Amino acid sequence: MSSSSDPLAGRHVLVTGGSGSLGRGVVRVLQDRGATVHVSPDPPALHLDDEAQTVALFATLPPLWASVHLVGGFAMSKLVDTSLADLEAQWRINAVTCFLCCREAARNMIATGDGGRIVNVAARAALVPPGGMAAYVAGKAAVVGLTQSIAAELAADRILVNAIAPSIIDTPANRAAMPAADHASWPTPDQIAEAIAYLVSPHNSLTSGAVVPVYGRA
């Protein structure tokens, strides 16, 4: 149960991808801090790389304090085996969803006039690009650039825009895919959620345009 002393009490927060492994942790942590959390529907009910559908989603929302954009996708393959369709798919699920959600969140917050917070999800691979992930790196690098450009533009509106950059997240699916890995070194969804909760909190009054590494010990 939240109280009026909770930092997000009485504030509305959208979380896209809120039903996934990371999303559930983020929703739980934000609710624990008093936020009223709105979770976007999953495909096929809603595709956030579709402009009309994204505009329609934000039209249903109350004035937002924060918008957290977790929707994204991952793919890896050798460059010579990566098709243009693969690149375009990663671009749409990562860069296009980020752009459309940031734009609509900004419209919502500017209309309210009370400032706000936007958090995107980049990736360690966008900051330290490995081989074998060209399409994914391109999509997530766009998230980094969008975050920094949008942060500069929205500063006058008191809207702080940041991104987190996870490595491999400790989820059941990732453990199953990499059973021999050092799972204890991976950041957990709840640990990443704590970083997001700070970035969307009113207590964060300075940080904007940052891409915050949340690698754990990986």
Distance CA 194, CA 144 (A): 20
Query: Rounded to the nearest 10 degrees, what angle do helices 51-59 and 97-112 cross at?
Result: 30
* Identified catalytic residue from 65, 99, 136, 186: 136
For the chain, the C-alpha Rg in angstroms (whole number) is 17
Give the pair of three-digit tokens for residue 205: 């009054």
Give the pair of three-digit tokens for residue 96: 């296009």
Distance CA 215, CA 209 (A): 19
Residue 136 annotated as catalytic: yes
Question: At 12, which amino acid appears?
Answer: H
| Span between the terminal Cα atoms of the chain, in Å | 34
Going by DSSP bridges, is the β-strand pair 66-69/116-121 parallel, antiparallel, or unpaired?
A: parallel
Query: Which residues are known to be catalytic?
Result: 136
